[in-house]
């Protein structure tokens, strides 16, 4: 049985003071509502310390949205995994489509970061997903397979328990256009099948696969009802407790 894992990717939103207020409100509301899913929030780097402080004593996980592929050194403007761990960050999102498209991150670069995160004892949410053009030209499976093989290169079977995959079709992100639960489930089934081929059926069955792309309170239940959808990576609707609470309590 895979435990539902719902995450809020704040992207470039929320100052430290706004993040702290939000986090305190979320922790209280989640506890009062009896939310029993695994919950994660990923604030911008500078907002992380305030959020970690506000979530002390709560089981909500704090993640980073990115990190550098080196341990330390002359990389101006970058953040190393050790710095994140020192703040209490356990998890990092890697390969988000916004980083792939705006900052030209490729699978090899994402893979270097992923291997370093594992070496540093962190958990990773690896994002994969196709553009509309790729989907319409019948390349969905090819794109997903390339991103999985490239992103997970040299990852050992025993490390797969630290990996979550987020399927985020690029055309559904921030557009209000969600993949249908059936489309999402079939992409998730393909991803699980690829992981079974790369590793084993057992690892594939245990793998948590989140769906991301315009998830909200109205569509979360239908998505989560699908066999292969184990969680959600939520952008816009994670930015207020009012919108995020019904998502993390979709099963209540």
Query: Which residue of the chain is nearest ligand 13P when measured via CB?
Result: 235
Q: 145 labelled as ligand-binding?
A: no
Does the active-site annotation cover 188? no
Name the catalytic one among 98, 105, 168, 188: 168
Does the active-site annotation cover 168? yes
Which residues contact ligand 13P by CB under 6 A?
Answer: 9, 96, 168, 173-174, 212-215, 233-237
Q: 151 labelled as ligand-binding?
A: no
Phi, psi of 45 (to 5 degrees): -45, -50
DSSP for 102-159 reads: HS---HHHHHHHHHHHHHTT-EEEEEE---HHHHHTT-HHHHHHHHHHHHTTT--GGG
For 42-68, letters b (16+ CB in 10 Å) and e give: bbbeebbbbbbebbeebebbbbbbbbb
- Residue among 103 and 201 whose Cβ is closer to ligand 13P: 103
Report the nearest approach of ligand 13P to the CB of residue 107 (Å).
18
Report the nearest approach of ligand 13P to the CB of residue 204 (Å).
23
**Cβ atoms of residues 166 and 212 within 8 Å:** yes
Report the nearest approach of ligand 13P to the CB of residue 213 (Å).
5
Name the catalytic one among 96, 98, 105, 130: 96
For residue 67, give both structure tokens: 């990190």
Which positions are annotated as active-site residues?
96, 168
**Residues annotated within a binding site:** 9-11, 174, 214, 235-236
């Amino acid at each position: 049985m895979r435990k539902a894992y719902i995450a809020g990717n704040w992207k470039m939103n929320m100052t430290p003071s706004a993040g702290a207020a939000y986090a305190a409100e979320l922790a209280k509301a989640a506890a009062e509502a009896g939310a029993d899913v695994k919950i994660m929030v990923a604030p911008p780097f500078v907002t992380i310390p305030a959020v970690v402080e506000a979530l002390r004593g709560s089981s909500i996980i704090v993640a980073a949205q990115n990190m550098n592929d080196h341990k330390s050194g002359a990389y101006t403007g970058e953040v190393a995994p050790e710095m994140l761990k020192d703040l209490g960050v356990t998890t990092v999102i890697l390969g988000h489509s916004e980083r792939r498209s705006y900052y030209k991150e490729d699978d090899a670069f994402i893979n270097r970061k992923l291997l370093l995160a594992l070496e540093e004892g962190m958990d990773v949410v690896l994002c994969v997903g196709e553009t509309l053009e790729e989907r319409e030209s019948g390349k969905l499976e090819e794109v997903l397979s390339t991103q999985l093989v490239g992103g997970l290169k040299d990852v050992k079977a025993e490390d797969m328990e630290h990996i979550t995959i987020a399927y985020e079709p690029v055309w559904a992100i921030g557009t209000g256009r969600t993949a249908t639960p059936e489309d999402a489930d079939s992409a998730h089934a393909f991803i699980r099948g690829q992981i079974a081929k790369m590793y084993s059926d057992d690892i594939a069955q245990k793998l948590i696969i989140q769906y991301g792309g315009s998830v909200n309170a109205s569509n979360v239940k239908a998505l989560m009802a699908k066999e292969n959808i184990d969680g959600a990576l939520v952008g816009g609707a994670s930015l207020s407790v009012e919108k995020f609470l019904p998502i993390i309590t979709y099963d209540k």
